Chain A
Amino acid sequence: MMKRISGRVAFLIIGAAVLVTVLLGWFAFIAPQRSKVAEFDSQVQSTQTQIADAQRLLTGPTRRDSLASLHKLQGVLPDQVKMSQILRQLSSVATTSEIELDTITPQTPTAVGGEEAVPMTVAVVGHYFAIQRFLRLLRASADVRNGHVIGTGRLYSVDNIQFTGGQPGGVISASLTVNGFVYTSVPAVAPATTAPSSTGATAVGN
């Protein structure tokens, strides 16, 4: 067999076989590994970038600011009614504005969007401008200025005021509908109020 092929042909066959071996070895075995290396390199880089971002979040001022901001907001909009805190704050504001708190009558909390309002009927006695100061301090207890929540107390709103004068020394008695607010993380659905059965109103109609 070997004698039948010339040296030249044998040389060419061997050359071709070597070339095929090199090409096959490179493209079938080595090139895929090199492409895997490049792929892993890019994944490692992307992971390192994510780690750097997360570490920046943990070590930079963002973490401190976020937690401080959340802490402040939890004071402004607590997740529980905390009526004792409301009483203390209303008393403090009343004392500062030189009015007297007569009665505070809380009503059933009502869901309003993402928070819950706790309506209270607050009766106060004082001068007109003292009541005005009371309302100003109540508003300043928690306010928003330039997109930042400011104030040292809870969030309040007043829906209704009515007063009657006539007392000696210009003192007036005012009744205010004040709302305190409670944060509920999930927007609460307004509870359906069931009107009481009208059987009890039989006597009214007659």
Chain B
Amino acid sequence: MQAVNLLPLEYRPAGRWTALGTGLSPERVIPIGAAVAGVIALALAGVYVRERSVVNDKQSSLAKEQARLVAVNSQAQAVRDAQTQAAAMTTAVDSVVAGRMLWDSTLGDLARVLPSEVALTALQASAPVASVPTAPVATDTTATSSTTTPVTPTAPTPPATTFTITGNAPSHVRVALILDRLALLPWLSDIALQTTSRLASGSVQFTVVAAVANNGGH
């Protein structure tokens, strides 16, 4: 059987929370509450002041570190500049080295492929891509013209023939062998006989032209 409370509401025993503060008089609650609030506000102000001082410390330490960074960076900048300049110079050296003709290799190759009893009397060869652009010479032979034409050096275009050798061979067959052997050189192309002529001594003078195809690096 369940018990029933027949007391009016105001006479019933209150719950834990509903009874909170019921026995207090406002004259006591307000000053105590104000004092508690004041203490809490003071505590908060203390925490604020402490945090503010930490912020100031951190700010000044950041300023010090930044000043140190500026000082160290000014020294390090010299090293960085040196690195940048060295990289730029290496690139410049690389570009020249990659494009220059390996004449020692090419002359060595030529000496190896020329048959015996063949002597060169003249050689003329140019790199397929010159390191220095050539300025075309503006020639004007007309009597009346007096215009001045600015000429800008242009990127060199490989000439049709950049390699010419002249020499003496004992026979035409030996000249043929020269042509065959020159064809073996990977840095030569378009090998052509320009002329041969028999000399009074019986030997054959020849002139062979070709184009230098690459820088001789094979």
Chain A interface residues (CB < 8 Å from chain B): 2-3, 5-15, 17-18, 21-22, 25-26, 29-30, 33-34, 36-37, 40-41, 43-44, 47-48, 50-51, 54-55, 57-58, 62-63, 66-67, 69-70, 73-74, 76-77, 110, 112-115, 117, 119, 128-129, 131-133, 135-136, 139, 142-144, 147, 149, 155, 157-166, 179, 181, 183, 185, 190, 192-199, 201-202, 204-206
Contact = CB atoms under 8 A, between A and B. Distances in A.
B201 interface: no
Interface residues of B, number: 94
20 contacts: A6-B26, A8-B20, A14-B36, A17-B37, A51-B69, A57-B80, A110-B135, A132-B104, A135-B103, A139-B102, A142-B93, A157-B99, A158-B127, A161-B125, A162-B125, A165-B119, A192-B150, A195-B138, A195-B150, A198-B142
Contact of A195 (B51, B125, B137, B143): B137
Nearest to B107: A132
Contacts of A157: 96, 99-101, 127, 131
A112 B92 CA distance: 10
B116 interface: no
A78 to B, nearest CB: 10
A10 B30 contact: yes
Given A7-B28, A10-B24, A54-B73, A37 B54 contact: yes
Contacts of B152: 190, 192-193
B82 to A, nearest CB: 5
Interface string B38-75: 00110011011001101100110110011011001101
A7 B132 contact: no
A72 to B, nearest CB: 9
Contacts of B146: 197-199
A54 B30 contact: no
A12 B21 contact: yes
B65 A129 contact: no
A195 B145 CA distance: 13
Among A8, A133, A185, A205, the one with the most B-chain Cβ atoms within 10 Å of its Cβ is: A8
Main secondary structure, interface of A, reads: helix
Nearest to A133: B104
A44 B61 contact: yes
Contacts of A133: 104
Interface stretch (B83-91, B179-187, B192-200): B83-91
A195 B148 contact: yes
Contacts of A6: 21-22, 26
Among A11, A77, A143, A164, the one with the most B-chain Cβ atoms within 10 Å of its Cβ is: A11
B130 A159 contact: yes
**Sorted from nearest, which 10 A-B pairs have the closest CB atoms?**
A14-B33, A195-B138, A7-B24, A11-B21, A25-B44, A40-B58, A136-B104, A33-B51, A205-B141, A157-B100
A9 to B, nearest CB: 8
Among B65, B68, B79, B120, the one with the most A-chain Cβ atoms within 10 Å of its Cβ is: B79
